[in-house]
């Protein structure tokens, strides 16, 4: 059989080290599906909605550090993918989204299902292109993968018209291109950063996913302990960049400008490390960074540096490579007086963070069991108790989670995959990708009930491919986050305590029936002990399990 564009597409992916695709094919992708016949080197994970495919590929990419490949069908399929594609853009996830398009002879006539796919994808992608000749298939795929994986990482889109995929061609001719980013920041800039940190009386670090992706956690711990800095996670953190149980860790920064300003008021030097600053939920009424603060930023994503406020020392480089040089520069500068000052700073920070966690750590306040459902702290403590050591945790908990849940699981889960972009519906399918990448690791997801309904089709894919993760639905029968936010408007909802279109209690979701209809076992959990037992049973089974966990949150307060 002669090669065509479809077989060249698959051969190029395999040569690039790709082993799986997440997708939902249609008629224009049939040449690709035909190329998969008798192909054992590549697994195609069929997803029942394009948004599921994107989030699954994102989870796979984050868990492996490699590119995630997505395949969708023409304009409606790409449209269905856009919600989680937005999340992937905000998270900088290295994805290659591919779509078949109608054959080029029909483009002028705008035949059914055709559209200008690159223009649709372009706002959410680093590069978007339609391949118009079969001779460009291999080169386009290689460029797309290289572009997606090169910092600042992010999604890329390619459109393949049907006539291109069916055209005859030869075999692959090229090879993969990878750009190494294991370089340190400029030496002069590192020296300036060391001077600034040496002068600091109350340094604060803000860490983010750049630390996790660089593998620089240990290097960051060494610098934090040397300086005694208070350490925060970035707003909307989606990875463990610093141990949440470390005595210098003070939780994630809030996404409200006033609260962030208040928390940073005492700092004199602020060091952003692999993090996106100022991810806010609303336009700031005050500047979130106090005027007196002097700032440093280390990142491979230069668009983050100086994005919303001035940076005195900009460090363009790899965190894992740069941080040891910075630490060594500080150690060389410091004598006994500076080390004593840092030790005193560290003791003060540990006292402050200890007091903070005493109020929020559910590991020590498990709550009471209730027939109506679990309190927030009871739920969080139960998740912590149920998790085995070394688990991978996917978090889309929203109102049932936050700093309390991250703290609760911090000494059990070794990897965290969270929501960066704010668009709900990523938790369930991201778990597919994480489990695909980590088949021998226990994987647990917590999702809200409203979020779960966006991508509930995930469960069918889990059943079909035997992906034995555990999905916990924190079911409070409402869009709780909307209720909390509408009270901040101080309008009629606050006056009358009425919440239009925010409750699911009249016609409740039967998650267990939905799971069963898609071949996934399920269990109820109304109490912490039931939740602990269900999670443990599900993980031990090695099969997918959905747990419907009843949540009874505290009364709403403005």
Residue pair 268/202 in contact by the 8 Å Cβ criterion: yes
Domain count, the chain: 3
Could you give the CA distance from residue 208 to residue 225 in angstroms, rounded to a whole number?
A: 18
Could you give the CA distance from residue 553 to residue 373 in angstroms, rounded to a whole number?
A: 8
Read off the pLDDT band of 504 (50, 70, 90): confident
Q: Is 175 within the bounds of a domain?
A: no
Per-residue burial over 397-434, b if 16 or more Cβ lie within 10 Å, else e, is bbbbbbbbbbbbbbebbebbbbbbbebbbbbbbbbbbb
* CA end-to-end span of the chain: 68
Residue 371: predicted pLDDT: 58
Could you give the CA distance from residue 331 to residue 129 in angstroms, rounded to a whole number?
A: 50
- Are 209 and 146 members of one domain? no
- Are 243 and 206 members of one domain? yes
Task: Write down the pTM of the prediction.
Answer: 0.94
Whose CA is closest to 383, among 279, 277, 533?
Answer: 533
Read off the pLDDT band of 399 (50, 70, 90): confident
- Are 533 and 417 members of one domain? yes
Residue pair 529/371 in contact by the 8 Å Cβ criterion: no
**In Å, how far from its chain's centre is CA 55?**
9
- Are 130 and 248 members of one domain? no
* pLDDT tens readout for residues 417-476: 998 888 899 999 999 999 999 999 999 999 999 999 999 999 999 999 999 999 999 998
* pLDDT tens readout for residues 148-160: 999 999 999 999 9
Six token digits for residue 82: 């856009």
- Are 316 and 230 members of one domain? yes
Last residue of a domain, one of 310, 335, 359: 359
Which backbone phi and psi does 25 adopt, to 5 degrees? -85, 160
Residue 506: predicted pLDDT: 76
Q: Is 173 within the bounds of a domain?
A: no
Residue in the block written with tokens 């750049």 = 210
Q: Is 179 within the bounds of a domain?
A: no
Could you give the CA distance from residue 202 to residue 205 in angstroms, rounded to a whole number?
A: 10
Q: Is 114 within the bounds of a domain?
A: yes
Is the pLDDT assigned to residue 497 strictly greater than 90?
Answer: no
Q: How far is CA 253 from CA 352, 415, 515, in A?
A: 15, 20, 36
Read off the pLDDT band of 281 (50, 70, 90): confident
- Are 338 and 370 members of one domain? no
- Are 330 and 387 members of one domain? no
Q: Is 471 within the bounds of a domain?
A: yes
Could you give the CA distance from residue 245 to residue 354 in angstroms, rounded to a whole number?
A: 10
Q: What is the CATH number of the domain that holds 335?
A: 3.40.50.1220
Query: What secondary structure letter does DSSP report for 4?
Result: B
Query: What secondary structure letter does DSSP report for 374?
Result: B
Mean pLDDT computed over every residue of the chain: 92
Could you give the CA distance from residue 98 to residue 6 in angstroms, rounded to a whole number?
A: 12
Interhelix angle 187-199/319-333, rounded to 10 degrees, is 50
Least confident of 182-191, 337-346, 541-550: 337-346
Could you give the CA distance from residue 416 to residue 81 in angstroms, rounded to a whole number?
A: 23
Q: Is 240 within the bounds of a domain?
A: yes
- Are 224 and 241 members of one domain? yes
* pLDDT tens readout for residues 352-393: 999 999 887 655 455 556 556 898 889 999 999 999 999 999
- Are 80 and 191 members of one domain? no
Residue pair 546/473 in contact by the 8 Å Cβ criterion: yes
Is the pLDDT assigned to residue 188 strictly greater than 90?
Answer: yes
Is the pLDDT assigned to residue 135 strictly greater than 90?
Answer: yes
Residue 429: predicted pLDDT: 98
Interhelix angle 217-227/319-333, rounded to 10 degrees, is 20
Q: What is the CATH number of the domain that holds 488?
A: 3.40.50.970
Q: Is 469 within the bounds of a domain?
A: yes
- Are 430 and 387 members of one domain? yes
Interhelix angle 458-465/427-437, rounded to 10 degrees, is 20
Read off the pLDDT band of 1 (50, 70, 90): low
Could you give the CA distance from residue 410 to residue 361 in angstroms, rounded to a whole number?
A: 11
Six token digits for residue 550: 């009843």
Read off the pLDDT band of 212 (50, 70, 90): very high
Between 16 and 373, the more confident residue is 16
Six token digits for residue 154: 């992010």
Could you give the CA distance from residue 329 to residue 245 in angstroms, rounded to a whole number?
A: 28
- Are 328 and 221 members of one domain? yes
Other residues' Cβ atoms within 10 Å of the Cβ of residue 230: 25
Secondary structure element (H or E) that encloses residue 417, with its range: strand 413-418
Between 501 and 226, the more confident residue is 226
Could you give the CA distance from residue 255 to residue 260 in angstroms, rounded to a whole number?
A: 7
Last residue of a domain, one of 301, 336, 359: 359
* pLDDT tens readout for residues 107-117: 999 999 999 99
Mean pLDDT of 230-258: 93
Could you give the CA distance from residue 369 to residue 178 in angstroms, rounded to a whole number?
A: 53
- Are 45 and 59 members of one domain? yes
Q: Is 172 within the bounds of a domain?
A: no
Read off the pLDDT band of 490 (50, 70, 90): confident
Residue 63: predicted pLDDT: 96
Strand partners, 71: 23, 98
């Amino acid at each position: 059989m002669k090669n065509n564009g479809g077989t060249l597409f698959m051969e190029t992916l395999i040569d690039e080290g790709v082993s799986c695709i997440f997708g939902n094919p249609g008629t224009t992708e049939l040449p690709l599906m035909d190329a998969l016949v008798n192909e054992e080197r590549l697994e195609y994970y069929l997803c029942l909605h394009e948004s599921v495919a994107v989030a699954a590929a994102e989870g796979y990419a984050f868990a492996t550090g490699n590119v995630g490949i997505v395949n969708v069908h023409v304009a409606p399929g790409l449209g269905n993918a856009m919600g989680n594609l937005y999340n992937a853009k905000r998270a900088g996830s290295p994805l290659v989204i591919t779509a078949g398009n109608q054959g080029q002879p029909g483009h002028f006539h705008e035949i059914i299902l055709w559209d200008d796919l690159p223009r649709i994808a372009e706002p959410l992608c680093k590069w978007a292109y339609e391949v118009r000749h079969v001779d460009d298939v291999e080169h386009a795929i290689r460029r797309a993968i290289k572009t997606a994986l090169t910092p600042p990482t992010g999604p890329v889109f390619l459109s393949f018209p049907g006539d291109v995929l069916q055209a005859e061609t030869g075999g692959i001719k090229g090879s993969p291109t990878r750009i190494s980013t294991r370089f340190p920041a400029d030496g002069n800039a590192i020296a300036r950063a060391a001077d600034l940190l040496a002068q600091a009386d109350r340094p604060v670090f803000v860490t983010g996913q750049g630390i996790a992706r660089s593998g620089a956690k240990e290097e960051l711990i060494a610098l934090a302990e040397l300086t005694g800095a208070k350490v925060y996670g970035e707003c909307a953190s989606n990875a463990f960049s610093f141990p949440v149980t470390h005595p210098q860790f003070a939780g994630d920064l809030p996404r409200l400008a006033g609260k962030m300003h208040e928390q940073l008021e005492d700092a004199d030097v602020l060091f952003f490390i692999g993090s996106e600053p100022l991810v806010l939920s609303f336009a700031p009424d005050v500047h979130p960074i106090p005027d007196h603060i002097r700032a440093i930023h280390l990142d491979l994503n230069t668009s983050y540096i100086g994005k919303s406020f001035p940076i005195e020392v900009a460090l363009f480089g790899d965190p894992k490579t740069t941080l040891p040089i910075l630490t060594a520069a500080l150690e060389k500068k410091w004598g006994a007086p500076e080390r004593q000052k840092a030790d005193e700073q560290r003791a003060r920070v540990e006292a402050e963070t200890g007091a903070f966690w005493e109020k929020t750590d559910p590991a020590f306040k498990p709550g009471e069991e209730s027939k109506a459902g679990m309190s927030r702290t009871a739920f969080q403590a139960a998740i912590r108790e149920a998790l085995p050591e070394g688990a991978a945790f996917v978090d889309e908990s929203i109102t049932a989670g936050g700093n309390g849940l991250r703290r609760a699981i911090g000494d059990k889960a070794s990897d965290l995959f969270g929501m960066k972009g704010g668009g709900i519906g990523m938790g369930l399918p991201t778990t597919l990708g994480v489990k695909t990448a980590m088949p021998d690791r226990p994987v647990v997801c917590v999702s809200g009930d409203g979020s779960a309904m966006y991508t509930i089709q995930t469960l069918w894919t889990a059943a079909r491919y035997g992906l034995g993760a555990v999905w916990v639905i924190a079911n409070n029968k409402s869009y709780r986050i909307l209720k909390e936010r509408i009270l901040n408007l101080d309008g009629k909802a606050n006056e009358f305590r009425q919440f239009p279109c925010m409750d699911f209690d009249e016609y409740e979701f039967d998650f267990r029936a939905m799971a069963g209809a898609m071949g996934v076992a399920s269990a109820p959990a109304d109490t912490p002990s039931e939740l602990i037992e269900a999670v443990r049973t599900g993980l031990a089974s090695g099969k997918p399990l959905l747990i419907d966990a009843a949540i009874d949150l505290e009364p709403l307060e403005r």
